[in-house]
Amino acid sequence: MSVSNWYNRSLNKIWGFVEDRTAMKRWALRPQPEFSFKPSYWTGAFVAVALVYQVISGALLLLYYQPSTNPTLTACGQTVGSASTAPAAWCSTFYIIHSVPMGELLLSSHLYGAYAMLFLLFLHFFRGYYVGVYKSPREFSWMVGTLLMVVTLGMGFTGYLLPYTQLAYNATNVGVVLALRLPTFGPLLGPLILSDGTGQGLLSRMFDAHVVLLPLALAGLFYAHLSLFESHGIAPPATSDPLQRRRFTDREEKEHVPFIPHIFFYTLKWALLYLGVLFGIAALWPWTLPTYVGNTAAVGVVTEPDWYFLWLFKLVDFQGVTPVIAIGASSAILVYILFLPFLDRSKRTHPRDRPVFIFLGTALLEFFILMTVWGGETPGVQILPVLIAETLGPPFAVTALAVGLFHWRYRASYRRRLAARQSQTFAGPYPPAASPSAHPTPTATEVPGSE
Ligand code: HEM
């Protein structure tokens, strides 16, 4: 017997034993269709992988981190002479980086892991937006997902202050001021966020939110999100046919491949790649800790949030945009995303059938990217209305034009093909020849605008 034969037979034997003793195939997580073996169908699973790594690395960081603003003489006192009075939160972070074995890798990968999770989350969101996965019956999956996005952004916001650097402290204060200026909710939120108004009060609240409250919310929402996914299965590819089912029959379910081992190993492969890239980046470009709150050398530190909040900070820089307007605008975007399944009521899921929503989604994406770059390049610089119009106007106009043009061409070509088919049907006693085109000939219900 060749070595590879022996190897495969041994693996099969071990796997058979494990399956027999655990009945893994019948564990939760439903079988999935063959067509789902593409990364684009598992963008949510990649977010989940990133989330799992954040939980593990965060739990390890908790072994050393101290959520206190008290000056400390231990941990980093002896190492950095001038920092002997630095707050414990900063010092314990310093200690993790410089004294804990692999601590620098752990902390950097937790931070970059948060960036990666948010990036993958935006990818999952925009992929779902473009292919219309929010349509019936997945409306609640979408709404729970939107809440997951809000909580994940909250995790980023609360985690930013924990090393207690001056940079993070300034940015957190801007965020807090924005929240406090909210009509009605502001005064209610004040004591909740600020506690007794001291630095320690704020740090304690952020710590509590980051390691207890928001993770609990995340766990509950994630459970609901996965349960909904279990009920509906993966969304089939987008289509122009309003009659196509977006649920699977019992027979189709039986033909699907089991989650364990097929999908599990498929996603595990991507998970390992994710971890490899994350560790590689964290090892090559470890994070450097900015100076601590209260350091006299910190005077003049710019106020800058992490990249995923830069768009909001830039919005506040717009002349005439008060904190209330900025919060109002972001709340309006949130409400739009949350209720999107009930705003876009057409039964067609294909992007070409949803020009208005594709324009709005693309405009949102452009707005987010442009504002993030702008916020990073000129943080805190006031922007006049003319410049706002000159920067944001052209991309929006080009998008509207492109989406409108493509939709118009698509409708015209569908109507032409329908007319050709109808004239063939009425032409004589012979059945119409099969269409040589690779695309299916449309039926009356498939013509855009015929619903
Ligand atoms: C922490 C954040 C999130 C996690 C961990 C997560 C995880 C997942 C997972 C594991 C799936 C199964 C299919 C797949 O892997 O793509 C899924 C599906 C889905 N997610 Fe998320 N998700 C998150 C955020 C969101 C957001 C922000 C939205 C949209 C606003 C969303 C909407 C959906 C929808 C509609 C489905 C069903 C899609 C389908 O069947 O193809 N999720 N999510």
Q: What pLDDT, in 10s, does the model give residues 162-199?
A: 999 999 999 999 889 888 887 788 888 888 999 888 99
Give the closest residue (by CA) to ligand 1 atom 7: 44
Give the closest residue (by CA) to ligand 1 atom 17: 44
Q: Is the pLDDT of residue 289 over 90?
A: yes
* pTM above threshold 0.85: yes
pLDDT digits (tens, 9 = 90+) for 149-159: 999 999 999 99
State which ligand 1 atom lies nearest to the alpha carbon of 138: 35
Q: Is the pLDDT of residue 442 over 70?
A: no
Ligand 1 contacts CB of residue 414 (under 6 A): no
Nearest-angstrom CA–CA distance, 118 and 153: 8
pLDDT digits (tens, 9 = 90+) for 391-418: 999 999 999 999 999 999 998 988 888 7
Number of neighbouring beta carbons within 10 Å of residue 355: 19
How far, in Å, is the centroid of ligand 1 from the Cα of 104?
31
Per-residue pLDDT averaged across 305-331, rounded? 92
The pLDDT assigned to 187 comes to 86
The pLDDT assigned to 286 comes to 98
Ligand 1 contacts CB of residue 149 (under 6 A): yes
Under 8 Å between Cβ of 283 and 107: no
Full DSSP string of 227-276: HHHHHH-SPPPP-S-TT--SS--HHHHHHSBPIIIIIHHHHHHHHHHHHH
Number of neighbouring beta carbons within 10 Å of residue 297: 10
Ligand 1 contacts CB of residue 143 (under 6 A): no
Percent of the chain that is helix, strand, coil (3-state, to 5): 70, 0, 30
35, 38, 47, 136: residue to mutate for ligand 1 pocket, most atoms within 8 A of CB = 47
State which ligand 1 atom lies nearest to the alpha carbon of 134: 35
Most confident of 66-80, 301-315, 324-338: 324-338
Structure tokens at 31: 């079988």
Ligand 1 contacts CB of residue 53 (under 6 A): no
The pLDDT assigned to 427 comes to 57
Give the closest residue (by CA) to ligand 1 atom 33: 142
Q: Is the pLDDT of residue 437 over 50?
A: no
Domains and CATH numbers, the chain: 32-64+100-425 (1.20.810.10)
Nearest-angstrom CA–CA distance, 448 and 434: 23
Mean pLDDT of the chain: 88
State which ligand 1 atom lies nearest to the alpha carbon of 146: 30
Ligand 1 contacts CB of residue 49 (under 6 A): no
Q: What is the DSSP letter of 33?
A: -
Under 8 Å between Cβ of 166 and 292: yes
The pLDDT assigned to 77 comes to 54
- Tell me the β-bridge partners of 165: 292
